[in-house]
Structure formats: C-alpha cells, structure tokens
Amino acid sequence: MSDIEAITNFLETTKDAREYKRALAVRLLLLMVEPITISEMLHVSPAFISKWKTNYFKEGVSAFTVKYHGYDGYFTKDQHDAIISWIKEQNSWDVDALSDYIQKTYRVSFTSLQSYYDFFAEAGITWKRAQSRHPAPDPQAIAEKKRD
C-alpha cells in the first residue's frame, strides 16, 4: 500500500478534526501541493506541515492519532451517578449544599463553581429552578401579570 493510500484510508476512518488536519496536510504534500498553499488552505503553519510529515515517516499513520484523551476525573461512573441521584432527591438546591455533600462523601472540593453547575445541569436543574424565589422581583410586573 502506498503512503497516499494509507493516509487516505486513515482520513476515511478518523473522526477527530485534529487528526484529520494532520493527515490531510501530509497527504496534500505527498500529492505535490506546495506547502504555502497547504498552509493557506488548512490555516496551519509550514512548520506544522513539516512536523507531521516527519512524524509520519517515523511512525506511519499512527503518528496522526491524538495520544492524550484527558484525565479520568475525580469520580467513578457509580459515584457520579450517585451525586446526580442525590441532587434529584433534594427539595431545594444550592451550590453550598452540593459542595458540602461532595466534600463530606468523596473528600473532593472544586476550585471553580462551574463544576457544581455542571452537576446541576446534568441533573436537569437550571439556575431558574434552583432559586427559591426570583432574585430581583418587580412588584409592578407581578401586579400587571395578575391582572391579565
């Protein structure tokens, strides 16, 4: 199998845009397209093209594959599901209560509040549902609404 065929097969199977761009740059280079043209087409630098060409000739198509797929996270699937279930069982919701529950149960404390918001969102709890009352009620608008 030629290099172009091998890369074409890889392009047909990959679903990752980063892998696709790497392989496509090298394929175009092997098809004798000028590096500057490839750079403009794919919005990459000539160094990018050179790097992936070198990697391809050292490792083959496996060079294009993204090696890092993130970390495992703080919770197992069962723990994650247990947190979502706990949220759904509550009568009212707030970040402090969720933070306390996670800290006491799993000894994990998030730096960013976004992590707690993500749990609420996954449990189907929106910011509006999480409020016990409107944060800035407008008495005039409420009175007009009642008249209608």
Domain annotation for the chain: domains and CATH numbers: 3-64 (1.10.10), 77-130 (no CATH)
* pLDDT tens digits along 59-114: 999 999 998 877 778 898 999 999 999 999 988 888 999 999 999 999 999 999 99
Predicted structure pTM score: 0.52
* CA–CA distances in Å: residue 126 to residues 16, 37, 123: 31, 48, 9
CB 90 within 8 A of CB 72: no
- CA–CA separation, 137 and 135 (whole Å): 6
CB 43 within 8 A of CB 30: no
pLDDT at 141 over 80: no
